[in-house]
């Protein structure tokens, strides 16, 4: 069972990594949350993959900035909020007709918006060289 969980975490982390890479070039796909998920999956399943991710010149900085308390870049926050509200409102008004489910989707949108806005914003332009 332990080996199966390890493989599942590697698969989820790898899918999340692909989505994070897409987020680098696609404006509505967030990068940082997917890379954080990748890091969380890899740290629990494979030291080799986690070390590769953290030392990677393209992906490592996203995770290191978040872990160091510097926060999430503005672009990632905006992408996250757009994606959350699009998917939650679409689900609330086109997927379900039940009023409690609609309210739950809208509440979820507000909940995650508050979480994202309360997370520190990383400003790479003001970082010392």
**pLDDT tens readout for residues 18-74:** 988 887 777 667 777 888 889 999 999 999 999 999 998 887 877 888 788 888 888
Q: Rounded to two decimals, what is the model's pTM?
A: 0.60
For the chain, the C-alpha Rg in angstroms (whole number) is 17
CA dihedral 32, 36, 42, 48 (to 10 degrees): 60
Q: Which of 75, 37, 29 is nearest to 53 (CA)?
A: 37
Beta-bridged to residue 72, according to DSSP, are: 121
Give the start-to-end residue ranges of the domains of the chain: 2-68, 74-118
pLDDT at residue 118 greater than cutoff 50: yes
Transcribe 51-111 into DSSP letters. Answer: HHHHH-TTTHHHHHHHHTT--EEHHHHHHHHHHHHHHHHHIIIII---HHHHHHHHHHHHH
pLDDT over threshold 70, residue 127: no
Examine the pLDDT at 129 and tell me if it is beyond 50: no
pLDDT at residue 69 in the model: 82
């Amino acid at each position: 069972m332990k080996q199966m969980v390890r493989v599942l975490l590697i698969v989820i982390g790898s899918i999340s990594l692909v989505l994070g890479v897409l987020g680098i070039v696609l404006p509505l796909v967030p990068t940082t949350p997917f890379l954080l998920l990748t890091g969380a999956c890899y740290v629990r399943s494979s030291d080799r993959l986690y070390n590769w991710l953290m030392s990677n010149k393209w992906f490592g900085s996203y995770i290191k900035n978040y872990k160091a308390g510097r926060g999430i870049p503005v672009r990632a926050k905006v992408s996250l909020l757009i994606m959350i509200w699009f998917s939650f409102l679409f689900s609330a008004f086109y997927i379900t007709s039940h009023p409690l489910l609609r309210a739950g989707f809208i509440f979820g949108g507000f909940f995650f918006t508050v979480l994202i806005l309360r997370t520190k914003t990383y400003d790479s332009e003001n970082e010392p060289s």
